[in-house]
Amino acid sequence: MEVFQSPAVIALVIFTSSVLLALFERRRQRRRQALQNGCDLPPRYKAKEPFWAFDFTMKLFGDVHTMAENMQKYGKTFIVESLFSAPIIFTADAQNMPAMASKDWGNGWRRQGFEQFTGRGILTEDGEMWHQARKMIRPGFAKSNISEMSYYESVVEDFIKHLPVGRTVDIQPLFIKTASLNFMNNALHWTIGFDAMNPPKDAPYSRDEFLKLWDQGVMGTGLRLMLGSMKFLLPDKSFNRVCDSIRSFVDYHIERAMKRNDTQEPKRFVDAFISESDDRSFIRNHLIQGIIGAQDTTSVLMSNTIHFLARRPELWKELREEVLSKGDDIFSFDSLRTNTFMQNIFSESLRLRPVFPAFQRRSLRATTLPTGGGPDGTAPIYCPADTDLHLSFYALHRDPRVFGPDVEEFNPQRWKTIKPTQFEYIPFGVGPRNCLGREKSLVEAAWMLARLAREFERVEGRGSGKWQGVMKISCANKFGCEVAFFSSTRGQDGTNP
Ligand code: HEM
């Protein structure tokens, strides 16, 4: 056995044994600390790569469904440990969800990934800074501010006019960033007052240049979130250039808004901030974080929903009948928000494909989770300060005891009878940090859906029909959303025949 005399092999054996010993010793210490506090450790995920558990992370970010598969294998709560990164507790147990709303847990993990791109603002801060930001932003979401929808209406009309008819189109990128007019226009108009239909001549970038930069910014941020403490592996130079360019675009619009000194109602986000603060970087950070909230979210919800409906002709027919029966009256903030048929469709879409399938929290002090530890998974879990916690809504939303035995089915009807608690169904978060854009987003999505249903008699699913959620900041289908819309009153080029 000469191979065992080779110095390289001996070194490798010593190195591997030391790694395994170190992991074992760390776990032993954590277990002792847990038991001393009347708690126990959750089951351990068996990562193949012991240094950073990269195999686990890559799988998780590349296919969100691994969340549900892991929970089936390890139970609703488990821990991922590796030598060079802090352990992360993963949970989809409704009893652990109040941690999202508790003062013991904060947003440190998100800040780590976001800060380079967005600076510090409402999405990344805790404590007083978050509290102040929320207080300042909140009035911007008052009904009087979001129910004025004439700009949005023009965006939707333009979108529908340009939609190809009778042939395959991938509607996901159209919703998300398309070269034609879309949600992003609305988001930019709402946050910084940028009118893509009438852009200022001296802006540092055109809308399409900005969209390209924005996409790179979101992608880079997603990668940094994924790598966590290993984000130093990524090249920073080009990413910093992208972030600088985005900042200069937003700064330009802050400057314009300051000169405009607009007092009109409803207020745009930028105007609301200017009237409250003259700290440029504070305003800029919040605008960038506002665009993140406003941009991808509604469009991902829409493409996920169309992906389902395109494969359920009977539902599309029912939806169209519902919309046609209401006539023009349906196109108002209140009618769309209270339309049970459409809102059940969105509830079900967000159940199966939550736009944010998980959230992370980091413990601000030593605390406990009520359940998930020990051999039978029912003991409380001790969490020292700085413990990372990953709350998986994607897996939470698949509990048959709450949603029925057919959890993987798209069945909007179930919402007529089920009543999940605020900790069993969390597409918009829960507690003091819940989503401020919920109403805005559900009404905008309903407006778009109602217009599509009125315009098109049929929508057919095309392509493979596969859905594999890839996580960047939000989670969209790797394979897009290939569909074909049909209308007897429009030709293939979109014009009347
Ligand atoms: C389908 C659409 C949307 C979904 C599923 C969604 C989901 C969420 C969730 C889960 C949170 C909780 C974050 C946490 O607990 O850390 C959140 C927070 C937030 N959302 Fe949304 N969101 C959507 C649309 C929007 C839109 C359109 C806007 C703005 C125009 C927006 C603005 C915000 C803001 C400002 C917060 C931060 C609240 C805070 O930290 O105090 N969201 N959203």
Specify the ligand 1 atom closest to the Cα of 301.
1
Q: What is the pLDDT of residue 411?
A: 98
The pair of structure tokens assigned to 53 is 């558990």
**CA distance to 122, 139, 265, per residue, from 136 (Å):** 10, 7, 16
106 C-beta closer than 6 A to ligand 1: no
297 CA to centre of ligand 1 in angstroms: 8
CATH 2.60.120.10, applies to 37-486:
no
**CA distance to 25, 140, 188, per residue, from 192 (Å):** 53, 12, 6
CA end-to-end span of the chain: 81
152 C-beta closer than 6 A to ligand 1: no
Specify the ligand 1 atom closest to the Cα of 431.
15
CA-proximal residue: ligand 1, atom 20 (nearest) = 435
Q: What is the pLDDT of residue 496?
A: 47
442 C-beta closer than 6 A to ligand 1: no
325 CA to centre of ligand 1 in angstroms: 32
Rounded mean pLDDT for each run of 10 residues along the chain, 497 residues in total = 74 81 80 90 91 89 94 95 88 95 88 89 89 83 81 84 91 65 56 65 79 87 82 88 91 79 61 76 86 81 96 97 96 95 98 95 95 95 94 96 97 97 96 92 94 96 94 88 91 54
Domain ranges of the chain: 37-486
Closest CA to 89 of 375, 357, 354, 380: 380
424 CA to centre of ligand 1 in angstroms: 18
Q: What is the pLDDT of residue 156?
A: 87
Helix (H, G, I), strand (E, B) or coil at 158: helix
- Answer yes or no: are the C-beta atoms of 100 and 433 closer than 8 Å: yes
Kindly report the backbone phi and psi dihedral angles of residue 453, in degrees, each rounded to the nearest multiple of 5, phi listed first. -65, -35
The pair of structure tokens assigned to 300 is 């991902």
- Answer yes or no: are the C-beta atoms of 120 and 285 closer than 8 Å: yes
141 CA to centre of ligand 1 in angstroms: 11
The residues that bridge with 458 in the sheet, in sequence order, are: 486
- Write out the DSSP string of 331-389: -SHHHHHH-HHHHHHHHHHHHHS-SS-EEEEEESSSEEEEEEETTTT-EEEEE-TT-EE
441 CA to centre of ligand 1 in angstroms: 9
Dihedral, 170, 176, 179, 183 alpha carbons, nearest 10? 130
Q: What is the pLDDT of residue 288?
A: 87
Q: What is the pLDDT of residue 182?
A: 47
Indicate the residue type of 246. Answer: I
